[in-house]
């Protein structure tokens, strides 16, 4: 499915459509932006025609120095059947040769008032957010003390009820039931809620509740970076659970590994408090303070001291 078309960036950045209107539905398939200076100089061996092309003051001032035949040829070669658009920065005049070639090949020529470097940055950021790899996970995403915590587990284990308790304790809900996740960088996962169920929680016995209506605008947020996964599972007496916290389990989402904790569920355990403390402890670990390692170190020192006393 096409995620971004040329008409989307026209609307997003309020660009002026100069020519090539027939091509505004062309797909943009890559986040890379091309500054075709070397192509205007005549070298098209590695021309990335599938990218959005950006012409600034440098490219156009050099273009003005070319003879009429070269000017016509270069612009014709810039406009291909897969080029999603050519953007002119600084509200500069568009060469007639480019207008003619773009109309012939239906390549949209767009104009912006913004300077080239800043425009390139804005376009890249927008395309990276739109074209990032995405997936959907069954779970609940909550912002706890600034840590994006994804709560997973089988249906009926108590994810939504735990999220409700966390919201009551002052934390913010991002998504319930279905969390849409996109990988924005090599190691950055951002979770959002599908528009249809945004701000809603499903509580068995109560039905669907609107968190923002009940608890106010400060109880929700639209998106959050996922830093920690907490998996809830029914207590299994035959299974050995980590009691020190030295072993750090990872969960892979798309291409990014995220720290994962498995929390057993049984009557009498306050899951909201446990998850709250897990988020605080995760923050402490990122700041260089690991309680489990400190305890193990003290225990080793005590054993060594005991051996010396025995001797």
Cα–Cα distance, 101 to 77 (Å, whole number): 9
The mean per-residue pLDDT over the stretch 1-7 comes to 85
CB 67 within 8 A of CB 42: no
Cα–Cα distance, 287 to 290 (Å, whole number): 9
CB 100 within 8 A of CB 67: no
pLDDT value of position 43: 96
Give the distance, in angstroms, between the CA of residue 125 and the centroid of all CA atoms in the same chain: 10
**Beta carbons within 10 angstroms of residue 207's beta carbon:** 8
Q: How confident is the model at residue 244 (pLDDT cuts 50, 70, 90)?
A: low
Q: Tell me the per-residue pLDDT of 178-193, one tens digit each, with 9 for 90 and over.
A: 999 999 877 899 999 9
Mean pLDDT of the chain: 91
Integer CA distances (angstroms), 282 to 151, 220, 227, 237, 290, in order: 15, 22, 9, 27, 9
Q: Tell me the per-residue pLDDT of 16-33, one tens digit each, with 9 for 90 and over.
A: 999 999 999 999 999 999
Summarize the annotated binding site for ATP as residue ranges: 153-160
pLDDT value of position 249: 87
Q: Tell me the per-residue pLDDT of 60-86, one tens digit each, with 9 for 90 and over.
A: 999 999 999 999 999 999 999 999 999
Which domains are delineated in the chain?
6-131 (3.40.1390.20), 134-295 (3.40.50.300)
Q: Tell me the per-residue pLDDT of 81-109, one tens digit each, with 9 for 90 and over.
A: 999 999 999 999 999 999 999 999 999 99
Cα–Cα distance, 42 to 128 (Å, whole number): 30
**Residues, the chain:** 311
Summarize the annotated binding site as residue ranges: 153-160, 202
Summarize the annotated binding site for Mg(2+) as residue ranges: 160, 202
Cα–Cα distance, 88 to 310 (Å, whole number): 82
DSSP class of residue 114?
S
Structure-token match 């306050």, residue found: 270
pLDDT value of position 291: 66
The mean per-residue pLDDT over the stretch 141-151 comes to 96
- Which amino acids are annotated catalytic? 138, 159, 177, 243
List the structure tokens of 38.
């070397």
Structure-token match 């249809």, residue found: 196
pLDDT value of position 59: 95
pLDDT value of position 287: 82
Q: How confident is the model at residue 245 (pLDDT cuts 50, 70, 90)?
A: low
User: 54-58, 153-157, 220-224 — which is least confidently predicted?
Assistant: 153-157
pLDDT value of position 48: 96
CB 105 within 8 A of CB 227: no
Shortest CA distance to 166 belongs to which of 274, 250, 63? 274
The mean per-residue pLDDT over the stretch 232-259 comes to 82
pLDDT value of position 292: 62
Look at phi and psi of residue 177 and say left if phi exceeds 0, alpha if psi is from -120 to 50, else beta: left
The verdict on pTM exceeding 0.85 is: no
List the structure tokens of 148.
């994006």
243 vs 239: which has the higher pLDDT: 239
SS3 state of residue 67: coil
pLDDT value of position 235: 84
Query: Please, which residues have CB within 8 angstroms of residue 203's CB and are 6 or more apart in sequence?
Result: 160, 161, 164, 209
């Amino acid at each position: 499915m096409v995620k971004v078309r040329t008409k989307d960036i026209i609307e997003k950045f309020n660009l002026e459509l100069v020519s090539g209107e027939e091509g505004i539905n062309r797909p943009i398939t890559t986040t890379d932006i091309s500054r075709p200076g070397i192509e205007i100089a005549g070298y098209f061996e590695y021309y990335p025609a599938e990218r959005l092309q950006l012409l600034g003051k440098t490219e156009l001032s050099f273009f003005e120095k070319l003879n009429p035949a070269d000017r016509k040829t270069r612009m014709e070669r810039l406009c291909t059947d897969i080029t999603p658009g050519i953007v002119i920065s600084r509200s500069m005049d568009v060469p007639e040769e480019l207008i003619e070639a773009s109309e012939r090949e239906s390549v949209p020529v767009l104009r912006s008032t913004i300077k080239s470097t800043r425009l390139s940055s804005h376009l890249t950021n927008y395309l990276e957010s739109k074209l990032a790899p995405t997936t959907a996970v069954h779970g609940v995403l909550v912002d706890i003390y600034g840590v994006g915590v994804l709560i997973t587990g089988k249906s009926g284990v108590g994810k939504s009820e735990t999220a409700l308790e966390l919201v009551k304790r002052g934390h913010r809900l991002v998504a319930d039931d279905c969390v849409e996740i996109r990988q924005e960088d090599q190691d950055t996962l951002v979770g959002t809620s599908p528009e249809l169920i945004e701000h809603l929680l499903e509580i068995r016995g109560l039905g669907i509740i609107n968190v923002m209506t009940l608890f106010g605008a400060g109880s929700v947020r639209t998106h959050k970076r996922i830093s920690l996964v907490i998996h809830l599972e029914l207590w299994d007496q035959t299974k050995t659970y980590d009691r020190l916290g030295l072993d750090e389990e990872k969960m892979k989402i798309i291409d990014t590994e995220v720290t994962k904790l498995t929390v057993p569920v049984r009557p009498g355990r306050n899951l909201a408090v446990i998850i709250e403390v897990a988020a605080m402890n995760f923050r402490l670990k990122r700041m260089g303070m690991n309680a489990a390692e400190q305890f193990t170190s003290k225990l080793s020192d005590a054993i060594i001291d005991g051996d010396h006393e025995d001797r």
